Amino acid sequence: MSFRKYREALHIEREYPLTKEPPRMDFLVIKKEKDTVIDNAVGKIFRKHNVVENKNPNDSLNSDVVWKVIGYAGLYKGLAEHVNEIPAEELTISIFRNRCPRELFKEWKRKGIEISHPYGGVYYVEGVVSLPLQIIVANELEEEEFLSLKMLMPGVKEKEIRKFLAYMRTLEKPGERRDAEAVLRVSVSANVEVYKRAGREDEMVNQVVWRLFGDEIEKVVEEKLSDSVEEVIEKTMTDDQVSYIKIVMKKLKMTEQEAMNFLDIPQDKHAKYTEMLAEEMEHKKG
């Protein structure tokens, strides 16, 4: 009634659908213990509840994507069982990308939104939303402890590969070495050309890649398959993806489904990986 005289200019859509598909969690929540102090560049901003968007780290970032993640944070808070169970002052938002969103930053600065750059790869944003908001640019992160994260991204640098291989040589526990090799396999899959170039220039890189993929590469030559080396390497990723799911579950305390969503594994492959994880568990019990 209050808007009757504006009815020609207003269009009401009842029960507006928020998505074309059934809604599902497209974000990660990291919960921090109250008295825990995280002393690295990414974690300094963290409070008790930390919404992290990392689904497509190599995609471009625009204001609509940012507002989508803000919406995730609002849903996470608003869907709690009790009123104000998750206080706004205990909530933060982090968005990971591989490249710096320069156009978005220019747009924000034109609008008077403040962007500070306290650490390499870390950008604090004030003026978009009242919650602490940071943009993490993975390929700009400087601290050594983020090396594993950078290794997973497309565009890894040769010097970072050498650093990671040197780090692998210091690992003594079998579980740690398996985790590191799983990271390396994902890195090779995402950066085949970089590894080929690095292998030609560095014998250590060449030896490690051949140790991990040598059998598959030789099989291509012997059987004269039409597949390229890159395609063969991609085929070997199935078992390694299972290893990486386990790493994410262990390190980030996630369920299988949450880990697969975090790794951006297509929905139609979830059942296959769930079955492989279950078979592995049964084998260990036996």
Q: What is the pLDDT along the chain (286 residues), one digit of tens a residue?
A: 445 554 554 454 444 454 555 555 556 787 888 778 888 888 899 898 889 886 565 677 899 999 999 998 998 898 888 899 999 999 999 998 888 999 999 999 999 999 999 999 999 999 999 999 999 998 788 777 788 777 877 778 888 888 888 888 888 887 788 888 888 877 777 777 787 787 777 777 777 777 766 665 555 445 544 445 455 555 555 556 777 777 767 766 778 888 787 777 788 888 888 888 888 777 766 5
Residue 10 is predicted with a pLDDT of 46
Question: In whole angstroms, what is the distance from residue 233 CA to residue 217 CA?
Answer: 8
**What one-character-per-residue DSSP string does 159-194 give?**
HHHHHHHHHHHT--SHHHHHHHHHHHHHHHHH-HHH
For the four alpha carbons of 40, 42, 43 and 44, in that order, the dihedral sign comes to: positive
Residue 130 is predicted with a pLDDT of 94
Euclidean distance between the first and the last CA atom of the chain, given in angstroms as a whole number: 70
Q: Give the DSSP letter of residue 11.
A: -
Residue 148 is predicted with a pLDDT of 79
Residue 222 is predicted with a pLDDT of 54
> Of all helices (H) and strands (E), which one includes residue 231?
helix 229-235
Q: Are residues 234 and 189 in contact, defined by beta-carbon separation less than 8 angstroms?
A: yes
Give the angle subtended at the CA of 260 by the CAs of 285 and 81, to the nearest 5°. Answer: 100
Amino acid at 176: E
> C-alpha dihedral over 112, 118, 123, 127, to 10 degrees?
-30
Residue 52 is predicted with a pLDDT of 85
Amino acid at 144: E
Q: Are residues 244 and 237 in contact, defined by beta-carbon separation less than 8 angstroms?
A: no
Q: Quote the strand ranges of 65-165, DSSP E.
A: 91-97, 114-119, 122-126, 133-137
Neighbours of 194 (CB within 10 A): 19
Residue with tokens 């650093």: 163
Question: In whole angstroms, what is the distance from residue 283 CA to residue 286 CA?
Answer: 5
Amino acid at 60: S
pTM: 0.59
Residue with tokens 């004030």: 126
Q: Are residues 138 and 153 in contact, defined by beta-carbon separation less than 8 angstroms?
A: yes
Q: Are residues 52 and 29 in contact, defined by beta-carbon separation less than 8 angstroms?
A: yes
> Of all helices (H) and strands (E), which one includes residue 52?
strand 49-53
